[in-house]
Amino acid sequence: MAASEPLLNESPPQVQRNNLLKGYFDEQELKFRHVSADQFADVWLRYDRDGNGFIEGDEMHLFFSELLDAIVPDEIKQRMLDEEIDQLIAELRQSLDKNEDDKIDISEVFYYLT
């Protein structure tokens, strides 16, 4: 199976509905489930759309929007102001971008998801 093919048989149902990250987040344990190498490749390819090895520019908006959607329960998101959401995204971005180069590389995403 190619890395870009969806893993429909191996993934939770949420993965099949656009947000890959939400499908791999365990809401009971409040952490990401084990992700296989193929599943991680699927996640990476979803967000590194230009294939340059980084999540940057417009790709970051999609990545952080879906990350926020995955880790923050709906009932909390509904009560958050836009400014609070922007602040949370900024904090997530800062925590993931370990080398502070304003882009996210594959090792930074791997570290966060595992």
Q: What is the CATH number of the domain that holds 87?
A: 1.10.238.10
Which residues are within 8 A (CB) of 85 and not within 5 positions of it... i.e. 6 or more apart? 68, 77
List Cβ<8 Å contacts ≥24 apart for 13-19.
19/66, 19/69, 19/70
The total number of structural domains in the chain stands at: 1
Residue 5 lies in a domain: no
Please give the pLDDT value at position 12: 47
Residue 19 lies in a domain: yes
Percent of the chain, pLDDT > 90?
58
Higher pLDDT, 14 or 106: 106
Please give the pLDDT value at position 55: 96
Residue 101 lies in a domain: yes
Domain of 82 in residue numbering reads as 13-113
23, two tokens: 């499908």
pLDDT tens, residue by residue, 51-88: 999 999 999 989 999 999 999 998 998 999 999 999 99
Q: Nearest Cα to 48, choosing from 5, 102, 107, 104?
A: 104
Q: ∠ CA(45), CA(109), CA(112), 5° rounding?
A: 140
Mean pLDDT, residues 2-10 = 42
Residue 8 lies in a domain: no
> What region, left, alpha or beta, does residue 18 occupy, with left being phi > 0 and alpha being psi -120 to 50 degrees?
left
